[in-house]
Amino acid sequence: MNPTIMTEVVRKDLCIGCGVCAALCPKKLLEMRWDHRQELVPVEASSCEKECGLCLKVCPFAGPNDNEDIIGKRLYGAAPEIRHVPDAGYYQSSFVGYSNDERRAHGASGGTATWLLEKMLKEDVVDRVICVTPDSGDSSQLFRFKVIDTPEGVQEGAGSVYCQVEMSGAIRHILDNPGRYAITGLPCAIKAIRLAQKNNKKLEERIKITIGLVCGQTKNMSFTQYIGILAGIQGRLKKVKYRCKSPDRPATNYHMVYLDDTGMNKTIIWREGGIAEAWVNRWFAPTACSYCDDVFAECADIACMDAWLPEYSSDSRGTSIILIRSSLLTQLVHNSIQSREISMKPIPIEEVLRSQSGAITIKRKYLPHRLYRGLQRGMQVPEKRVAPSKNRNLFIRRTIDNMIRMQELSKELWDTNHPNAKHFKDQMNLYLTQISRDMEISNSFTSCIMIITFPVRVIKRKMGIR
């Protein structure tokens, strides 16, 4: 029996739920469904007899597929004025700013992703754009990838979505309908699209622009349910808006809004309601997120992100950073700055990296230890651009290990049918307490080292020794 997506990815808990495998299965044997943990995974409608292996060839977490470095070099390595940095991949230009209209108010940050999609349709760069929008027809799904062919329709997809959304239907639409497409996605989904383009001529010809959304992690649907209960939702969830702005709070302290089938509308704030705690400790994140090292959507023509820098994040209206790898898009941005459609200015790559320093630390610097820990526990881990290795800092090791355990435990403890937020939080507090203690000890240890070495450092400075 040849390996398939089911044996090599799903059963080894490495699926991210993008849905590209289901879209390209030549026998249409795969369907995307929610599993018992409320995570999207492919399931076999019937047993695979062909075993062509195409499902594995397009999977972003299956080996030995091309990694982001190989894909990026193939796509952008020969582009004019192209540069490369290890943490962000290839880039041609980078800008910070916002859209000069209502898009900024409705967007998660500065409204630039929405502006770009509309602009490409208006300028006839593409015939259709594909992005995530609320799914009013299926309350269990909440969101879906939608094909949009008018600038007016793009506004429906404004804002961020913090749950898995699969794109099998969108990819099938591209295969069945000729045209020029632009598509948005998280780094893992864009990588899957690039792998699919390598194996499918139609996708290679029809997908003209890829827009990546910078990502620290995604969440399964239990995250949305958990936060909804904390917010006070009692009925069946009908609608959620993950990123809402308030003029009396900085952009970093946004809020979520829930609506249930009883008409109850509830709001919960990032720092005060429990969202931040669940997010930064990686509760409800798919296991595949633990093995992803792509922060800046390195396989996308442009990457959009929040400007998480002190000089911008205090502005409640939101500010965006874009990292461009396409000459066409660089020129499009320059023209739109001159016409004052957008207020943007160049930003050094060092500042771009600093804006996402937290995600870089978690996804890249801590990845070798997560790979090492996975192997130590007898788990199957994907081949990455770094080798598995044990972190040398005891306190960092313990923090990473505790976060891994919380990520796993969050999905084991949460009962979708009988959710109990208090019991869940009590169990998580055991690990949160340990992390807090380790941080205190680590900070005290660092302070002691600084005091002990202070005389030596003073002498070295006076002698001109570095």
Tell me the pLDDT tens digit for each residue of 1-30: 688 999 999 999 999 999 999 999 999 999
SS3 294: coil
pLDDT band at residue 466 under the 50/70/90 scheme: low
Residue 461: its pLDDT value, please? Answer: 60
Say whether pLDDT at 136 is over 80: no
Q: Looking up tokens 């995570």, which residue turns up?
A: 39
Q: What is the average pLDDT score of the chain?
A: 93
Q: Looking up tokens 């390598």, which residue turns up?
A: 198
φ, ψ of residue 84 in degrees (nearest 5): -145, 135
Measure the CA–CA gap between 317 and 269, rounded to whole angstroms: 16
The predicted-structure confidence for 51-60, as pLDDT tens digits, reads as follows: 789 999 999 9
- Mean pLDDT across 414-433: 92
Q: Which of 147, 209, 137 is nearest to 172 (CA)?
A: 147
The predicted-structure confidence for 143-196, as pLDDT tens digits, reads as follows: 999 999 999 999 999 999 999 999 999 999 999 999 999 999 999 999 999 999
Residue 434: its pLDDT value, please? Answer: 85
The two structure tokens encoding residue 449: 């080292």
Q: Is the pTM of this model over 0.75?
A: yes
- 255 near 68, Cβ under 8 Å? no
Say whether pLDDT at 360 is over 70: yes
Measure the CA–CA gap between 287 and 260, rounded to whole angstroms: 29
SS3 1: coil
Say whether pLDDT at 450 is over 80: no
Residue 14: its pLDDT value, please? Answer: 97
Strand partners, 94: 323
Measure the CA–CA gap between 222 and 162, rounded to whole angstroms: 11
Query: What is the identity of the amino acid at 451?
Result: I
Residue 444: its pLDDT value, please? Answer: 66
Residue 51: its pLDDT value, please? Answer: 75
- 120 near 129, Cβ under 8 Å? yes
Residue 447: its pLDDT value, please? Answer: 59
Residue 465: its pLDDT value, please? Answer: 60
The predicted-structure confidence for 292-334, as pLDDT tens digits, reads as follows: 999 999 999 999 999 999 999 999 999 999 999 999 999 999 9
The full set of domain ranges for the chain reads 5-219+286-359, 221-280, 389-463
Q: What sign results for the dihedral spanned by CA atoms 438, 442, 448, 452?
A: positive
CA 305 vs. chain centroid, Å, equals 10
Q: Looking up tokens 């009692």, which residue turns up?
A: 234
Measure the CA–CA gap between 56 and 50, rounded to whole angstroms: 13
SS3 407: helix
Say whether pLDDT at 452 is over 70: no
pLDDT band at residue 458 under the 50/70/90 scheme: very low
Q: Where are the beta strands (DSSP E) in 357-396?
A: none
The two structure tokens encoding residue 108: 């998660």
pLDDT band at residue 49 under the 50/70/90 scheme: confident
- Running DSSP on this structure, what letter comes out for residue 290? G
